[in-house]
Structure formats: C-alpha cells, structure tokens
Chain A
Amino acid sequence: MTAQSVVFLFVLAIAAGIFALNVQRLVSYLKLGVAEDRTDRPWARLSNVLQIGIAQTKILREPIAGIMHATIFWGFIVLTAGTVEIFIQGAWSGFSYERVLWHPLYALYAASQDAFAVFVLAAVAFAFYRRLVLHPRRLEGDRIEHLDAYVILGMIAGLMITLLLANAFLSVVQPDAVGPEKFVSRGLAAPFANVSARSAFYAYRTFWWAHVFLVLIFLNYLPYSKHLHVVSSLINVYFSNTSWKGERAVMRPMDLEAETESFGAADVEQLTWKNLLDGYSCTECGRCTAACPANLTGKVLSPRKIVVNTRQRLMEKGPAATGDGMAFLGSRLVHGENHEAAESLGNGATHRLLDGYITEEELWQCTSCRACVQECPVSIDQLDIINQMRRNLVLSESRFPAEIQPAFEALERNGAPWAFDAADRARWADGLAIPTMAELTERGERPDVLFWVGCMGSFDDRAKKITVAFARILQACGIRFAILGQEEHCHGDPARRMGNEYLYQMLAKDTIDTLNRYAVTTVVTSCPHCFHQIGNEFPQLGGNYEVIHHSTYIDRLLQQELVPLRTDEGRRLTVAYHDSCYLGRYNDIYDAPRETLRRALPVVNLVEPPRARDRGLCCGAGGGRMWMEERQGKRINIERTEELLATGAETIAVACPFCMTMMSDGVKAKESSVPVLDIAEVVASQLSAT
C-alpha cells in the first residue's frame, strides 16, 4: 500500500466518522419527537420515491427551476458512480472501471461523467444567475440563507471543475487512461499538451485531492446547511403520507382520554419525528409560500417559515435535550425566519416553538387549502404541523380568535356553526315531497342514497338554492333518496379544522350513531367539506360509508343519460370553474365538475384561470376561515374573484357552498354582474320541463 493510499484512507475514515457522528446526532434529535409508524405500504412508498424523488415529478411542476434542479440531481446520481471510482483509486492507485466493465458500458459511463459534469456546471451557472440577477421572490431569505446557497453552489461547481481538470491532466500524463469518451476532459487537456509530464502529474494529483477533499467537505457541511435535503429528502419522500388521495388530508387521530399534560403541539417534542424530518428536508425553495393564499394576499403566514422554524427550534432544543454538547452551534449555522419573538423571549420557561418561533396569528391565517403540501417537491406536510399547533392553542390553552367562539357555541348547542334553530333545518324541503329517513323507515322502505344536505345547504339562503337544484336533479332522474331532516346536524369538521377536536368528536360520533341507526351505506352531498369529512375522516371513528360528491354523482347520471335534459343547446356560454380545495387537492376531483358542465351545456366554452386544478387558489373560507375575520392584507376571495373575472367568463361555476359565498361576495365587491352558479344549478336549469 502506498503512502498516498494510507493518507487517503486516513482522511476518508476521519470524514466518514465525523459524518456518522452528525447523522447520529440528527437522528437523536428526531427521536425527541413523538413515535409514529410509517413502515406500512413499502411498495407504494418506494413508488413515491421513484416518481417524486428520482423522476423529480414535483420539482418539474415549475419547468425552468425544475430542469435546473433535475439536471443537478441526476448529475449527482450519475457522478456518484464516478466518485466511487475515485475513492477506489484512492485506496488502490490505478484502478479504473475499465478493468471490470464491458467496454461499451464503460464508454457510456465515461461519456456520462464528462457530459453530466458540463450539464451540472451549466445548471449551477444558471442557479447563480437566478439568485444574483433574477431574484425570484420565493427565494427571499436572510444573509445566512443566501450565503449557504452560494457556498453549496460554489462547492458543486468546484467538484465539477476539479473532476474535469484532474482527468484533463491525467490525459496529459497518461493519454491511455482517459479515453475519447471523456471528450470534455480531453478537450480541456489540449492547451496543456506541452506541459511537462512532471508538472502535469502534480497538477493531476492536486486536482484529484482537491476533488476528494471537496466531496468530504461537502458531505460534512450538509448537516449544518439547508442542503441537508441532499441526504434527507428521499428518505422524507419515502415516509411521507402526502400522496394518497383523500387519506393524505385526514387529520391525525387524537385520543382525548390520553393521560397527557397537553394536547396538540406547542413544541418540537410534541410533534412527531416525521414532522421533524420535514424540517431536515426543507431546502427553503419557497414553492409552498409562493402558492399560499394567505401569503399571496399579504398575510404573515408562510408555510416555509413554519417548517424552517420547526427545524431551527429543534436545532436549539436538540443539544439541550440530548446533552450532546453541540449547543455552541446555536443558530449561527442553522438559521430561521423572522423570529424576533424568539429573541425577545430569551431563554425563559415559555421559550418554545409556539409563540417563540411560530405565532398564533400565523396559525389562524391558514385556510387548510393544501397548496403548500401540493407544491412541496420533497413531500413535506406543513399543514400537519399547523393543525397540531391549532389543537394545542384551542384544547390546551383556549387561545383562539374571539370571533370563533360563537361558532363553537352554536356547533355545541345548535348543531350548526351558526345559531339557527335545528327545527328549521329541513325547511328548504317544504312542499318538495322529499322523505326523511325516519319516514321511510316507518314505511319499511329504504332509499338508494342518503342526501346529506349540510349546514350551509340547510340554513344559508343562497346555498339552499343549490340544495333544491340538486334535489330536483335527483327527482328528475328517479333516484330514490331521503334526507335526515331534523336528525342531521354538523359532523364537526369546522370544529376539527379550528383545532377543537373535543367538539368535533362529540358531533362526529353522534352523526355516526344516526347514520348507523338507519344502516346508511351510500351518501351523496353537495358540500366538499361534508364529502371529505364523512367519507375520509369518519373511518377513524368507526364510520364507514360510501360518500359521493354531487359533482361525481351528477356526472355519472349524465353519463348514463338518466338526466332528462332540454334538447336545445342554448347559446354558447363562457364559464370559468373554480376548484374547491377539498374536492381537488384533497380528493383529486378535478374532472367531474368540468365534465358535468360540458355534458349539461354541450356548447359551453370552459375557460381556466392561470391557477386551476391542483394549482387552484383557495376561495378563503377553508380551515374555519369562514368564521374568522380577515384582518391582514388583501381579502383572498377578492384576489380569486379577480383571477376568475379576468378569464372573461360570463358565469363563474363552483361546486362548494363555501366557495359560493366567497365568490359571490367577491363579485359583489368588484361590482360585477357575472353570476356565480353551482354546477347543480347549471344542470337543473337545463332539465326538460316534463
């Protein structure tokens, strides 16, 4: 073994050792979080890693930055093979894959090394240009954040340059060692053809060592950088639950009988290890915040800040909790965003994630629209953290905006978020000959489906028209359906979204009792929130029903040609459909409402605003925002209405009673006369007279 090999192995052992210690340290911090099993469905998880991770599907949602990142990422994968070769060379001088590989395969490998080194360099150059010249708003950050990015980009560029130059000088020394496949290296060698063999050899050695050192420094820099995602993001994608339709949006189960000092999360050790891993995986790309309706309209909530601050708090708390002696690192290497509050609080007993890093105000601004989760390229679940912290605010500290107290009270006393008489719930059905479950049961009959009307559909005058329209369609199609009438009350979803799990479980369990008493199996509803709650979240409490949203149900009826439509096609109407978050990003229902419109209006001209489908902008009412004041920035519904009106639509179509309220208000505020209609109303207006 040569002296060089000994030195190399020594350096490698030290670097690997330090890295292993850092990994162990970071893992020990993760263990501060609550345990949670994420080992189910290994194949589905692996498939997520292949798609979202390896194929970079989410990154590529933004084409320019996406291609830039994917180039660097794929370059890393390809070049890692080269790094392995170089490391073997370190131990065994003169080693080359050429010795062990079939030649065409080796040629491909060799060419790929040079080609990707150039691609990565080009991508890094573009990344610098983007950060220094273009300044995308979503990359805003403090000095450390920018410095961190430049260091990493510089190191990547350094790795590529040293690799190419090492090969170039090797080809001067030993032309056979660098074949024509390494065309870039050979090209670079041309100007140095006359350099003496001795000088060329030293230059080769220098660049070779520089490359090796850069690899090892890079590896050990990562644990102190947001670029830790290089290591953690594929792991994060594997353990993430943000992909499964419907299920991904189900709030965590909660045992209210548990012997615990506090509910929800006020600090990092009350979050789960997966929430903490999210922190390690965030590269601060800001795609979440750029898509956040609250942030877009000038509010303080930034989903990126939620994740970054969670990580920062963990880095502060970790050394103290594990006693690993790393406290001196402090926040010098791991920064956070806008946490003046933390600094002013000092290290008192109240210093924690909630209040210290993340304020109440931010948490209540969330509309639970999932745009942040949808956009995250590494499957971080920002909303999960927000929801757990809201629970803590409400259940443990009784801190919430004063204006939601009436909603909580009304839910508890009246079974609806507004204090209306439960006795008036089915008044919309007066004279429509719609039976209740109780009436049918008394007659010994059973309906095909239960029509779950929901509180908006029962009490809001505008939404009642949607309810009637849907009921008319069902009647025209000869569907045997019933309603619960006065036995229906809120299933508790608004309370759950506002952090009041106790109130939610009370209402939900009672609803399940009612549904089970009538042995309900199939439910249709015109409210996406009811649809999501009863269909996706009730199973957590033992209620299992097939729940179909009216967009899907009407679409099926139209497909089966059961709907008696007028035969005249009417005039060509330009319609913009506004996506409901709880249908779309929660449940992947994008096409059914659009198809419903196309089938009911054969000559319709469907137009889309720039933000549509899984990028659709929330109306502003989700996450309990319907019952809160919007105190900061522009109103979200105005922003969205402007986007929809800008399409030139003559009608705005919605499929949710809450979107209906927000869009109608927006249209009124813009003094526009464009009607806002639910898809059921559009179809009902096309029903033939008979």
Chain B
Amino acid sequence: MANILVFAESRGTDLRKVAGEAVSVARRLADASGGGEVHALLAGPPGIAQKADVLGRYGADVVLVMEHTALATFARESIAATLAARAKAASYRAIVLGFSAQGRDLGPRLAARLDAPIASDVIDVQVAGDALTVKHPAYANKVVVTLTVTGSPAIVSIRPAAITATESPRTARVETIQPGTDPAASRVKVTQVVEGAKGRPDLADAPVIVAGGRGLKAPENFKLVEELADAFGNAAVGATRAVTDEGWRPHADQIGQTGRQVSPQLYVAVGISGAIQHLAGMRTSKTIVAINKDKEAPIFKVADYGIVGDVLEVVPALTSAVREAKKGH
C-alpha cells in the first residue's frame, strides 16, 4: 500500500485537462500498489477550491487546497517548496505531474530538492510490487523506451493527452494548507501574459487535429474544417504549405517538414493529397482519416481510414455525424 501525490495543474481558477489525467494515473497506481490514497495539490487564486470535486471524480481521496492571490499565475518556487515539504513529511511512492510547461518546470526542481528519480514525458505507467515502470517516446517518437524507476518517491511527468483520464468518483476530503514559501516573494515575476489564439487548443497538445489542403478550393471553404474541429470540441486546426502559402491560413498553422510536426490521437486530412513535405509532419499520428476526391492521392497510403469524395459534401456530413455522436455522450 502506497500513497501517491499529484500536482493538479490549473490556470487561473480553471483546472487544466492534464490535472484530471494525472489524478487518474495516480488513482490507478494507488490501486495497483494495494489501495493507497491519492493526494492532489490544488493551488490557485481564491475560488480554486471549488474544483476539488472534479479531482474527486477522477479518484482523488484528499485535495490539498492552497489559495493565494499570487497563485493566479504559476508560482513555481512556492509550489515546488510546498510539494517538496509535503513529500518529505509523508511517504509517497510517486509524485505525478503533467509534462506541460508547468510540469517541465516543477519536475526537475522536485527531483533536486528530494534527491529523487524523475521520468519525463511518460505515456504509460505501471506498478507491480516494488517496480515502477514507465514508457516514454524517444527520437521524435520513433521508438518507445521502457524504463524501470527505482527509489521513492518517483517523480513522473505524463505527456498531456496521451493517457485517457478515467473516472473513479468519490468524495474527496478537502484540506486547506499554507504555501511552503510566500508565492508573492518569487524571484520570477510574471509581467505579462500573452493570450494565444482563443477557442481551439494548440496543435502541439490537441488530441485531434483537422487539417485542410488545397482540395478545399477556396479560402472561404476552410470554415468547413473549423466547423468539424469545433464539433470534436478538442480539435486544433492545421493546414498544408499550399494553403499557408496562398494566405488562406496563417503560417503558424502549417503542418509539415517545414512547419509544425504533430502526432495527435486522431488526424483528419481534408483535401490534402499528401505531399512528402506534409507527410513528414503528421505521419506519426495515431489514427489518420483522409478525405480526398483523388483515390490515387498518396495520403491514402498512410491513412487508416479513407473517404474518396468531394470534401465540400463529405465534411459537412462528417461534422453532423460527429455532433450526433457527441450528443449521445
């Protein structure tokens, strides 16, 4: 029996999706090691305590709530000190966090403070007896490395969107705790927060990407791609080089050898023929769906599912089908 500590990441008063994933992973580890408890640290500005229920739904037994106005932005030093103090005070088998911007910062700090082992960018964790094994991709996702982590607590940062959060509902006990150090006294000051594109997730961490190519014929037809992405709810929108060259989409949306290199769970290629430049940026996606009127298009060679047809007809039909399916949930 061993307890697991989780850092439940938030931004402002909102939980980040990876928080649920981290708690869910911790729940599984705790159960597998003989039914320990999952303790989740929830740090944020006043009002964050309301989110404790959500963590309970994913299986947190105890939610350690730390509220402070200075926690409205990520206070790395204070949170690291709090987690480290907690880990020293109680015995944890593992500390789980997201391999996100925050987690990439906290993980090494904790490892140093606790002199503990760390496994980063993990896509799977298993515990069997004393052995904690993790999997993490290397060489641009070409290989998956399996590592056994010895020593306790093992710090594990999980890749966002790689592990599906499963619910394990319970009523979490809420404990209010004080920050390990004053979050307002941090040596790092956030002077400005620049908002990225609103609404859709970034290409790098979206589990679903809908990308459009020249097959859409005209810039106004790109809204079909956006509608399909919105129907998924968690999808980002990408484009081919031809499309960004034509100025239909900003250059930052380009997926390919010379643009963004992505590997989502689901990649929907709309009107994309699959030039080598594009394939080099998305061929490692888990599931690829291609819609193109030319059945000889190379994209079908890498696609798991292909629809040969006019994108202007197929995509709206697919969008309504996705909406229907989502309603059913």
Taking a contact as CB atoms under 8 Å apart, the answer to whether A628 and B258 are in contact is yes
Asked if A419 meets B301 with Cβ closer than 8 Å, knowing A406-B261, A459-B276, A460-B276, the reply is no
* CB-contact partner of B280 in A419, A630, A665, under 8 A: A419
Taking a contact as CB atoms under 8 Å apart, the answer to whether B275 and A661 are in contact is yes
**Minimum C-beta distance from B145 to chain A (A):** 15
Interface: B189 (CB within 8 A): no
Interface: B233 (CB within 8 A): no
Interface: A669 (CB within 8 A): yes
Main secondary structure of the interface of A (DSSP, over half): helix
Interface: B197 (CB within 8 A): no
Q: Which residues of A contact B301 (CB under 8 A)?
A: 461
Stretch at the interface among A34-42, A407-415, A574-582, A601-609: A407-415
- Interface positions, chain A 458-495, Cβ under 8 Å from B, are 459-462
Taking a contact as CB atoms under 8 Å apart, the answer to whether B257 and A418 are in contact is yes
Interface string of A358-389 (1 = CB under 8 A from B): 00000000000000000000000000000000
Asked if A627 meets B140 with Cβ closer than 8 Å, knowing A410-B280, A459-B276, A461-B274, the reply is no
Q: Which residues of B contact A406 (CB under 8 A)?
A: 257-258, 261, 280
**Minimum C-beta distance from A609 to chain B (A):** 23
> Which residue on chain A has the smallest CB distance to residue B299?
A461
- Interface positions, chain A 632-668, Cβ under 8 Å from B, are 635, 661, 665, 668
Complex: A298 Cα to B132 Cα, angstroms: 59
**Minimum C-beta distance from A573 to chain B (A):** 22
Interface: A403 (CB within 8 A): yes
**Minimum C-beta distance from A30 to chain B (A):** 40
Taking a contact as CB atoms under 8 Å apart, the answer to whether B242 and A665 are in contact is yes
> Which residue on chain A has the smallest CB distance to residue B284?
A419
Complex: A64 Cα to B261 Cα, angstroms: 52
Taking a contact as CB atoms under 8 Å apart, the answer to whether B276 and A413 are in contact is no
Complex: A413 Cα to B140 Cα, angstroms: 10
> Which residue on chain B has the smallest CB distance to residue A664?
B275
Complex: A627 Cα to B241 Cα, angstroms: 12
Complex: A456 Cα to B280 Cα, angstroms: 12
Interface: A629 (CB within 8 A): yes
* CB-contact partner of B142 in A413, A459, A460, A627, under 8 A: A413
Complex: A77 Cα to B142 Cα, angstroms: 68
Asked if A413 meets B280 with Cβ closer than 8 Å, knowing A403-B257, A403-B258, A461-B274, the reply is no
> Which residue on chain A has the smallest CB distance to residue B241?
A629
> Which residue on chain B has the smallest CB distance to residue A462?
B298
Q: Which residues of B contact A459 (CB under 8 A)?
A: 276
Q: Which residues of B contact A403 (CB under 8 A)?
A: 257-259
Q: Which residues of A contact B235 (CB under 8 A)?
A: none
Interface: B214 (CB within 8 A): yes
Chain A CB within 10 A, most for which of B242, B251, B279: B279
Taking a contact as CB atoms under 8 Å apart, the answer to whether B257 and A661 are in contact is no
Q: Which residues of B contact A629 (CB under 8 A)?
A: 241, 251, 258
Interface string of B247-262 (1 = CB under 8 A from A): 0000100000111010
Asked if A456 meets B257 with Cβ closer than 8 Å, knowing A413-B139, A413-B142, A630-B245, the reply is no
Q: Which residues of B contact A462 (CB under 8 A)?
A: 275, 298
Taking a contact as CB atoms under 8 Å apart, the answer to whether A627 and B257 are in contact is yes
Complex: A661 Cα to B256 Cα, angstroms: 15
- Interface positions, chain B 116-151, Cβ under 8 Å from A, are 139-140, 142
- Interface positions, chain B 270-289, Cβ under 8 Å from A, are 274-276, 279-280, 283
**Minimum C-beta distance from A404 to chain B (A):** 8
Task: Give the size category of B's interface with A.
Answer: 20 to 34
> Which residue on chain B has the smallest CB distance to residue A631?
B251
Q: Which residues of B contact A668 (CB under 8 A)?
A: 214, 242
Asked if A665 meets B257 with Cβ closer than 8 Å, knowing A406-B280, A462-B298, the reply is no
Complex: A409 Cα to B279 Cα, angstroms: 16
Q: Which residues of B contact A635 (CB under 8 A)?
A: 245
Complex: A669 Cα to B247 Cα, angstroms: 13
Asked if A456 meets B142 with Cβ closer than 8 Å, knowing A403-B259, A630-B245, A635-B245, the reply is no
**Minimum C-beta distance from B219 to chain A (A):** 14
Complex: A421 Cα to B139 Cα, angstroms: 12
Q: Which residues of A contact B257 (CB under 8 A)?
A: 403, 406-407, 417-418, 627
Q: Which residues of B contact A404 (CB under 8 A)?
A: 258
Q: Which residues of A contact B275 (CB under 8 A)?
A: 460, 462, 661, 665
Complex: A265 Cα to B14 Cα, angstroms: 53
Chain A CB within 10 A, most for which of B246, B258, B259: B258
Q: Which residues of B contact A418 (CB under 8 A)?
A: 257, 276, 279-280
> Which residue on chain A has the smallest CB distance to residue B244?
A629
**Minimum C-beta distance from B176 to chain A (A):** 46
Taking a contact as CB atoms under 8 Å apart, the answer to whether B140 and A409 are in contact is yes
Q: Which residues of A contact B246 (CB under 8 A)?
A: 669
Complex: A84 Cα to B261 Cα, angstroms: 71
Q: Which residues of A contact B142 (CB under 8 A)?
A: 413, 419, 421
> Which residue on chain B has the smallest CB distance to residue A427?
B301
Q: Which residues of B contact A410 (CB under 8 A)?
A: 280
Q: Which residues of A contact B283 (CB under 8 A)?
A: 420
Interface string of B43-67 (1 = CB under 8 A from A): 0000000000000000000000000
> Which residue on chain A has the smallest CB distance to residue B217?
A671
**Minimum C-beta distance from B205 to chain A (A):** 19
**Minimum C-beta distance from A494 to chain B (A):** 12
Q: Which residues of A contact B139 (CB under 8 A)?
A: 413
Interface string of B211-251 (1 = CB under 8 A from A): 00010000000000000000000000000011001100001
Taking a contact as CB atoms under 8 Å apart, the answer to whether A419 and B140 are in contact is yes
Chain A CB within 10 A, most for which of B214, B245, B280: B280
Q: Which residues of B contact A413 (CB under 8 A)?
A: 139-140, 142
Complex: A418 Cα to B140 Cα, angstroms: 12
Complex: A1 Cα to B264 Cα, angstroms: 96
Asked if A461 meets B258 with Cβ closer than 8 Å, knowing A409-B140, A668-B214, the reply is no
Complex: A488 Cα to B312 Cα, angstroms: 42
Complex: A5 Cα to B298 Cα, angstroms: 85
Q: Which residues of A contact B280 (CB under 8 A)?
A: 406, 410, 418-420
Asked if A627 meets B214 with Cβ closer than 8 Å, knowing A418-B276, A661-B276, A668-B242, the reply is no
Q: Which residues of A contact B259 (CB under 8 A)?
A: 403
> Which residue on chain B has the smallest CB distance to residue A418?
B280
Interface string of A503-528 (1 = CB under 8 A from B): 00000000000000000000000000
> Which residue on chain B has the smallest CB distance to residue A413?
B139
Q: Which residues of B contact A630 (CB under 8 A)?
A: 245
> Which residue on chain A has the smallest CB distance to residue B254?
A629
**Minimum C-beta distance from A144 to chain B (A):** 39
Q: Which residues of A contact B214 (CB under 8 A)?
A: 668-669
Complex: A404 Cα to B257 Cα, angstroms: 8
Complex: A665 Cα to B301 Cα, angstroms: 19
> Which residue on chain A has the smallest CB distance to residue B139?
A413
**Minimum C-beta distance from B293 to chain A (A):** 13
Complex: A406 Cα to B274 Cα, angstroms: 18
Given A627-B257, A669-B242, 7 more pairs with CB closer than 8 A: A406-B261, A417-B257, A419-B142, A459-B276, A460-B275, A461-B298, A629-B258
Enumerate the 5 nearest inter-chain pairs by beta-carbon distance, A residue then B residue, closest first. A461-B298, A403-B258, A418-B280, A460-B276, A629-B258
18 sample A-B contacts, Cβ–Cβ < 8 Å, listed by A number: A403-B257, A406-B280, A409-B140, A410-B280, A413-B139, A413-B142, A417-B257, A418-B279, A460-B275, A460-B276, A461-B276, A462-B275, A627-B257, A635-B245, A661-B276, A668-B214, A669-B242, A669-B246
Residues of B within 8 A of A (CB): 139-140, 142, 214, 241-242, 245-246, 251, 257-259, 261, 274-276, 279-280, 283, 298, 301
